[in-house]
């Protein structure tokens, strides 16, 4: 059989593609190793403090200091005095490294544990008596090392699979070897990436955002208390992505005969772009202003000025998108590994020689629900990210700062986002279309055999103006072109089963078709494949059309008189 192939795209292969993939995985490996070394060093230093001597000490000073930096400006400071072998020493270290907080209440809780004049216990390095601390870091820090090790594993594993020598490669073509590696390696990479997305999404949600949601829910029972603004400012935070801003309103309040301070305006006081919107909030709370705050009766050092729901809280749900996407990739990859083990081309096509019997209801390759789900996930991720920048742009625009450069830059991203929403609506409408149900009299017909095809439309089939069902043969071929690996596709045979405007035939019907002898049966190998499909197309005026594709396995021609294959 002679089949003409039309080129439809090319992939990465050869030395250029391998070098690109090498650089990609090396970055994963290097960054993972860098963070692993850093975390392991911290673990070693933390473990060493568990061998330090416990010495009684006296607290001399305990207060929260405000640093000049906008990054974690509230630093708990405790000065204490202790004696060793008749010598008196002083230290102001709480942990081995100085630690600041963006939340004044957290720093205040630390210093409240060490009131001036009270006795305490400090930990002293026996080799350096001047080195003393009040608190050890938790040994749970050991668990953190597993996070960068994931990147080390992905990077190292990727480098290994890219450059390892394939045994028996002398018996295969280079392209066949690469294709088989890519086929198996792609599934493994899918499992790894799916697991990473899932774990990162869960970790970020439970570590950063879930406490905010719980505080918001719990704050509905907090007690309203008068408070006085001590200071208010917009703090700036510089990063590689530009400058972001956060609201900092330090206020003082009395609760059960104790004085406390807090700087929480709301539970969504995250740093983001858009100075003007933060400045408007600060202007409402000048120094000395009297206002009301909500105090946690169980932890009086926790208080917030605005406990109402804000749309910014929905950002806390964003990590769950990574979790959903990661789980989808992970489940899909695991199913692919279980459904198609590493078989030779001969083993993968051996099912073509098995003769099942009885009719079968075909399943579409992609259901309307999966199309809608896929587009919805993509639209949610894309528009969720873009909306953050658009919201800040609108806030700046409303405050009189017209950022034309940013506006023009966002135009194509917004248009793509609108396109995803239109696509989601399109697939949502298509979800309610009539759905074809195809029944084949023989699950795996042979070349030259006749097979009975029945169709029935569920739902309002009268909406379909024209129905066509075709039987198509498709070929895919992968080959080397220079240093690139190219995959081409071609429909080499098309047989029309029915094309009708009759509403009764559209609703249901049947036909008998003969599969041509002088063609190719279904076949799957590393570099080539032949597949046969029943394609259903229904035209619906002013509505998404019916479009369904069903794969049919066609077996080879039966040899006459021998029961074998010719």
Residue of higher predicted confidence among 267 and 99: 99
Q: CB–CB of 473/491 below 8 Å?
A: yes
Domain end residue (candidates: 306, 327, 361):
306
Residue 327's pLDDT is: 78
Q: Is a pLDDT exceeding 80 seen at residue 55? A: yes
Q: What is the mean pLDDT of residues 50-64?
A: 93
CATH number at residue 533: 2.60.40.640
Q: Is a pLDDT exceeding 90 seen at residue 535? A: yes
| 262 found inside a domain | yes
Burial track 398-420 (b if 16+ CB lie within 10 A, e otherwise): eeeeeeeeeeeebeeebeebeeb
Contacts of 216 by beta carbon, 8 Å cutoff, 6+ apart:
267, 307, 309, 313
Together in a domain, 543 and 453: yes
Torsion of Cα atoms, 28 then 29 then 32 then 37, to 10°: -160
Residue 156's pLDDT is: 83
| 276 found inside a domain | yes
Read off the pLDDT of residues 11-39 as tens digits, 9 standing for 90 and up: 444 566 677 778 877 887 888 899 889 88
Together in a domain, 325 and 177: yes
Q: Is a pLDDT exceeding 50 seen at residue 6? A: no
Query: Considering its fold, how many domains does the chain have in total?
Result: 4
Together in a domain, 461 and 526: yes
Q: Is a pLDDT exceeding 90 seen at residue 56? A: yes
**Cα distance between residue 110 and residue 50, in whole Å:** 21
Together in a domain, 511 and 533: yes
Together in a domain, 209 and 319: yes
Residue 467's pLDDT is: 93
Res. 537 pLDDT band, cuts 50 70 90: very high
Mean pLDDT (the chain, rounded): 80
How crowded is residue 483: how many other Cβ atoms within 10 Å of its Cβ? 12
| 398 found inside a domain | no
**Cα distance between residue 463 and residue 449, in whole Å:** 34
Read off the pLDDT of residues 128-181 as tens digits, 9 standing for 90 and up: 888 999 999 888 777 777 778 877 877 787 787 777 654 444 444 443 443 444
Read off the pLDDT of residues 487-497 as tens digits, 9 standing for 90 and up: 788 898 888 99
Q: What are the two backbone dihedrals, phi and then psi, of residue 407, each rounded to the nearest 5 degrees?
A: -60, -45
Q: What is the mean pLDDT of residues 68-74?
A: 82
Together in a domain, 458 and 527: yes
Residue 167's pLDDT is: 42
Together in a domain, 192 and 284: no
Together in a domain, 537 and 453: yes
Domain that holds residue 337: 173-222+310-342
**Cα distance between residue 495 and residue 293, in whole Å:** 75
Read off the pLDDT of residues 216-243 as tens digits, 9 standing for 90 and up: 788 888 999 999 999 999 988 876 556 7
Q: What are the two backbone dihedrals, phi and then psi, of residue 331, each rounded to the nearest 5 degrees?
A: -65, -45
Together in a domain, 459 and 527: yes
User: pTM of this prediction?
Assistant: 0.53
Interior CA angle at 6 toward 5 and 11, to 5°? 105
**Cα distance between residue 292 and residue 294, in whole Å:** 7
Burial track 121-151 (b if 16+ CB lie within 10 A, e otherwise): ebbbbeeebebbbbbebeeeeeebbebbbbb
| 78 found inside a domain | yes
Read off the pLDDT of residues 465-480 as tens digits, 9 standing for 90 and up: 999 999 999 998 877 7
């Amino acid at each position: 059989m002679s089949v003409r192939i039309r080129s439809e795209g090319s992939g990465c292969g050869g030395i250029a593609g391998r070098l690109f993939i090498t650089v990609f995985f090396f970055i994963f490996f290097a960054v993972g190793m860098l963070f692993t070394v850093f975390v392991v060093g911290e673990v070693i230093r933390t473990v060493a403090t568990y061998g330090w001597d416990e010495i009684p000490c006296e607290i001399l000073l305990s207060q929260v200091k405000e640093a000049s930096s906008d990054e974690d400006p509230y630093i708990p400071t405790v000065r204490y005095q202790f004696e060793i072998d008749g010598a008196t020493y002083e230290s102001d270290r709480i942990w081995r490294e100085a630690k600041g907080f963006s939340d004044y209440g957290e720093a205040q809780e630390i210093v409240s544990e060490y009131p001036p004049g009270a006795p305490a216990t400090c930990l002293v390095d026996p080799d350096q008596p001047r080195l003393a601390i009040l608190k050890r870091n938790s040994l749970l820090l050991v668990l953190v090392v597993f996070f960068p090790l994931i990147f080390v594993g992905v990077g190292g594993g990727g480098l290994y699979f890219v450059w390892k020598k394939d045994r028996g490669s002398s018996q295969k073509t280079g392209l066949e070897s690469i294709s088989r590696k890519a086929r198996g390696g792609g599934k493994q990479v899918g499992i790894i990436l799916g697991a990473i997305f899932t774990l990162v999404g869960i970790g970020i949600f439970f570590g950063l955002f879930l406490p905010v949601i719980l505080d918001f829910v719990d704050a509905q029972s907090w007690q309203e208390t008068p408070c006085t603004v001590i200071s208010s400012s917009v703090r700036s935070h510089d990063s590689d992505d530009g400058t972001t801003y956060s609201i900092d309103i330090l206020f003082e309040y009395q609760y059960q005969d104790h004085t406390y301070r807090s700087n929480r305006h709301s539970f969504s006081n995250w740093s983001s772009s858009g100075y003007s919107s933060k400045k408007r909030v600060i202007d409402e709370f000048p120094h000395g202003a009297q206002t009301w705050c909500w105090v946690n009766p169980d932890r009086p050092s926790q208080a917030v000025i605005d406990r109402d729901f804000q749309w910014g809280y929905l950002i806390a749900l964003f990590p769950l998108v990574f979790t959903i996407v990661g789980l989808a990739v992970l489940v899909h990859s695991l199913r692919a590994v279980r459904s198609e083990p590493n078989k030779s081309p001969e083993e993968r096509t051996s099912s073509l020689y098995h003769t099942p019997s009885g009719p079968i209801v075909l399943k579409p390759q992609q259901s309307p629900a999966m199309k809608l789900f896929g587009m919805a996930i993509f639209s949610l991720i894309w528009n969720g990210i873009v909306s953050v920048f658009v919201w800040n742009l609108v806030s700046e625009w409303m405050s009189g700062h017209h950022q034309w450069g940013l506006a023009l830059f966002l135009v194509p991203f917004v248009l793509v986002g609108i396109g995803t929403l239109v696509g989601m609506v399109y697939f949502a409408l298509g979800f309610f279309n009539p759905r074809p149900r195809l029944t084949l009299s023989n699950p795996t017909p042979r070349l030259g055999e006749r097979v009975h095809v029945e169709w029935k439309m569920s739902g309002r089939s009268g909406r379909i103006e024209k129905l066509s069902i075709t039987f198509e043969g498709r070929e895919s071929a992968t080959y080397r072109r220079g240093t690139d690996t190219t995959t081409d596709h071609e429909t080499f045979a098309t047989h029309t089963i029915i094309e009708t405007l009759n509403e009764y035939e559209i609703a249901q019907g049947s036909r008998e078709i003969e599969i041509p002898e002088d063609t190719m049966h279904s076949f799957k190998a590393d570099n080539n494949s032949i597949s046969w499909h029943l394609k259903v197309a229904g035209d619906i005026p002013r509505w998404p059309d019916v479009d369904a594709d069903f794969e049919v396995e066609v077996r080879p021609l039966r040899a006459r008189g021998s029961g074998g294959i010719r």
